[in-house]
Structure 1
Amino acid sequence: MDTSNEPHIAHKSHLPHPYDQDISHVLRHLSRITATGRKKLANSLSTAGYLAAGMWLIERNLGPDAARSACASGSRRSLERPLLGFLSQRAVAAAVAENPPPFPSRGGVPRLRTTWRSQSDFIADLINFAMWPTNYHPGYLEQRAVTTKRLVVGEDFVRAVHETAYLHTAESVRMPSVRLSLALMVLADGDDRVQRVLTDTYRGYLSSWKQVYAEVLRARGLRLRAGLGLDDLANALSAATDGVILRSIGDPHAGVVDRGRERTLMGTVALAVMHGFLEPAEDSDGLTLEQAVHARLGRPRPSGATRSDALRGERNPNP
């Protein structure tokens, strides 16, 4: 490993966690053909310096507590909105010069372009690195394992749902990398490479949650309503989570994330989604979600009729 440009750093292992780890499996868009070349480049000090600069730029520009600059007009109410301009090759190369020790502080656009062929390649790998679970808040993964176990076997399922929803949503609101991924959902339209990374990120993220949901269903004797699958459940809860995160960022006083009570609206939404999507496996009414909602809410109930009468009517609409 070439360290000649940074004589004050003896080895990659001297970098802070997680930059001291092998990240060759995380960076997938480096401009090297062979596996050996990609691994060497992924774990070089120069690459760590560019990643550190990129992470600093994300935090500085997307927050929380992002730095904002007034527009040329000088109005305090008019702020610069650079979108992804802050991650241009020139901006990243310039930020390397501001890296704190022990990160490399020497870099330039030519070296950056020999590491990643395009800005899209760099952003794609920066997303992979930023969303790497090793970058999560210390203790988050351990706490998630505890709350997940409570979802599966805990006595108070409702409380476990609220705790899990709060832990995940509150952590995500604080993470600059999550803010970047949400921004890129719109900004990456037309950029196949970045969109592919976002798709892969979601696929891995949802895969882990689908395993949890499957365990919950088995342990608690539940099943999905007719016509629904684990993908539907995972996508519904993920989309709701993204919405709550965005609302909390855009309107911090809305109360959708209550740090004082350690509750979030996502917990309530998750319970509602599960109540609608799931039913006891041994006492299934056999209805689709649409049929169940229609039976309960879709039409006035005749005087004296019971819910069971309504359900029988849905099963046999033309007796």
Structure 2
Amino acid sequence: MYDGPLDDVATNVRTKSGRLLPTGRRLANSPVVRACLEGGRRLAEQELLGFAGEEHLHRPLDTLTQKNIAREAELIFQEALRDEHVAHALFGTPPDWKKAGTRPSVGTMKDRWPTLALYMGDLVRYVLRERYSLTDGMLDEAARAELRETAAFSAAVDKVAYHDMKIVYADETSARFQYLVTALTDFHKQIREALDGVYEHSFGYWRDLYAEILEARGVSLRPGISLNELTMMLTGMAQGLSLRHIGAAGGKVIDHANQRCLLGKASQILIAGAIDPGDGRKVADVVDELMAVRVPVDEDRRKPRRFRARVRRLRRGKQWP
């Protein structure tokens, strides 16, 4: 259970409900708000992993009702009595049990989030805030140094790609939740804003890393390819392959036995085309040359046929017209 500050997570409780700034911040970090968000996360997890039961499969996130969320939040309050971590997350360190006076209920839900849309915006930020910490903590300095300095760069890419897919993109809850709510962004401004934050954070992290690697190795990109475009393509491949991994059993995107994945190979292919070896050519020119139509070897060696003119003999007695 997340025990950090919720100022930038429960932003709708803090600002959208018309609260004064100090009051809004206290409410955003209150035990009730934290329990309701954690309750929604657990309900979503149960549904996404198939534990919600057949009766809740009429539409995605069908279990997220005020009644269900309030009931799950109350169970979390009870869990705090026997789980020290939950108690610290809800009531502070050491736990201030006086804060348990206000209990989760449908009434407190309506007070904190007057509409479902406001709750969904905060819930998306709460569930996906794990994506920030997963990305930031994935590469230590040793891994970054390996990408900058090792001669076996391809092996370093394979290693980083495998850990990226395993830790960040193949997570059973937050990754699935992210892809589910992505389909709703055109209809839900709150969800779109929350997802924008996740994508911007991931993009910024990897862009800075790629810039660091290119500079350390003294290489540059081919003309017409920007660092932003390379970052977008690499992160897009990671997201697409993870979606394939989650949605297609047996797709063999990740090879846990050998600690490799298709992302590593795809990244190396993209890097091979994007890096300028010194010829200064655009990638389109290189592709045109590689894919130029060539005469097959067998056809090239075959001798040309001898031309033989056929002349029909005129029958006797037949005249020219």
TM-score for the superposition, normalised by structure 1: 0.76
Aligned partner letter, 1:272: I
Specify whether residues 132 and 260 from structure 1 end up closer, same or farther in structure 2 by C-alpha distance, changes over 3 A only. same
Asked which structure has the greater CA Rg, the reply is 2
> Is the counterpart of residue 157 in structure 1 residue 153 in structure 2?
yes
| Equivalent-residue separation in structure 2 for 1:129 and 1:116 (angstroms) | 14
Alpha-carbon deviation of 1:25?
2.8
Aligned to 1:76: none
Q: Which amino acid aligns with 1:165?
A: A
The one of 279, 291, 294 equivalent to 2:288 is 294
Structure 1: 5+ residue stretches without partners: 1-15, 72-78, 304-319
Identity of aligned residues (%): 23
The alignment status of 1:120 with 2:117, answered yes or no, reads yes
The alignment partner of 2:220 has SS state of strand
Gaps of 5+ in 2: 81-85, 91-99, 298-321
Residue 232 to residue 141, structure 1, CA distance change in 2 (3 Å)? closer
Contact 1:47 1:115 in 2 (8 A): yes
Shift of 1:56: 0.9
Aligned to 1:46: 32
1:263 and 1:224 map into 2 onto residues whose CA distance is: 26
- The number of equivalent residue pairs is 272
1:143 and 1:92 map into 2 onto residues whose CA distance is 32
32, 37, 40: which one pairs with 2:23? 37
By how many angstroms is 1:196 displaced?
A: 1.9
Hey, what's the Cα distance between the residues in 2 that align with 1:143 and 1:205?
12
Q: Which amino acid aligns with 2:246?
A: I
Cα distance, 1:22 vs structure 2:
2.1
Larger mean Cα displacement after TM superposition, 143-152 or 262-271? 143-152
Aligned amino acid, residue 264 of structure 2: G
Task: Please give the alpha-carbon distance, in whole angstroms, between the structure 2 residues aligned to 1:192 and 1:38.
Answer: 21
Alignment of 1:25-104 (within 5 A): 25-30=8-13, 31-63=17-49, 66-67=50-51, 69-70=53-54, 80=57, 82-99=59-76, 101-102=79-80
Q: Distance in 1 between matches of 2:226 and 2:209?
A: 14
- For residues 81 and 221 of structure 1, the distance between their equivalents in structure 2, rounded to whole angstroms, comes to 55
Equivalents in 2 of 1:217, 1:120: separation in Å?
Answer: 43
Q: Does the C-alpha gap of structure 1 residues 61 and 149 become closer, same or farther in structure 2, counting only changes over 3 Å? A: farther
Aligned twin of 1:306: none
Residue 174 (structure 1) shift: 2.1
Q: Once superposed, what is the RMSD of the aligned Cα atoms?
A: 2.6
Within the alignment, does 1:220 sit opposite 2:203 as a pair? Answer: no
Structure 2 CA distance for aligned equivalents of residues 98 and 82 of structure 1: 25
Report the CA distance between 1:148 and its aligned residue.
3.1
- Asked if the contact 2:237–2:263 (Cα under 8 Å) also holds between the matched residues in 1, the reply is yes
Seen in structure 2, the aligned counterparts of structure 1 residues 135 and 60 have a Cα distance that, compared at 3 Å, is: farther
CA shift for structure 1 position 216:
0.9
Matches for 1:157-196 after TM superposition, within 5 Å: 157-171=153-167, 172-196=169-193
CA distance in 1, matches of 2:272, 2:110: 51
Q: What is residue 22 of structure 1 aligned with on the other side?
A: 5
Report if the CA contact (8 A) 1:127-1:177 is conserved: no
Q: TM-score, normalised by structure 2?
A: 0.76
**Match for residue 233 of structure 2 among 212, 232, 236:** 236
Q: What letter is aligned with 1:293?
A: V
What secondary structure does 1:279 align onto? coil
Matched, 1:131 2:109: no
Deviation, structure 1 residue 47? 1.0
